[in-house]
Amino acid sequence: MTASASYINILHVEDDPNDALLFQHACARAGVRFALRSVTDGDEAIAYLQGTQGYADRQKHPFPQLILLDLKMPRLSGFEVLAWLRENDAFKSLPVIVLTSSNHESDIKRAYDLGANSYLVKPVGFDALVEVAKTISGYWAALNECSVR
């Protein structure tokens, strides 16, 4: 199955409920070709990926073909999630786009060193966020070949 044949599932890991809701609205406005599932921190992201803590039903909580990952979160940071993903054979090839407010060079370098596939700084305006959603959809959901689990 190719990404262009159907929608893909994206796991959005974002601790700020306002940012998560804003991105959902941007995706709706953009008419994206993906289904967005959201979790609020790194611990919850790992539980989702492992299918534990209420995420075992893959009909209700499908395995993602892409992760959008914030970096600065409580309990387990995005950096720690990236490290965990790349250390685990079952998840190490799962594409990760860092979507964060940090534009610090040290954060960018660290994210790539830990295995991020892309690094995007959250735009300030809603229209720019819609463009980010369109771009993610256009490449990752329409052009890129995703592995189906």
Tell me the backbone φ, ψ of residue 62, rounded to 5 degrees.
-65, 150
Nearest to 66 by CA among 110, 4, 116: 116
Beta-carbon count within 10 A of 121 CB? 15
Per-residue pLDDT for the chain (149 aa), expressed as one digit of tens each? 344 445 789 999 999 999 999 999 999 999 888 889 999 999 999 999 999 999 999 999 999 999 999 999 988 999 999 999 999 999 999 999 999 999 999 999 999 999 999 999 999 999 999 999 999 988 777 666 666 55
> What structural domains and CATH numbers belong to the chain?
8-142 (3.40.50.2300)
The pTM score is 0.90
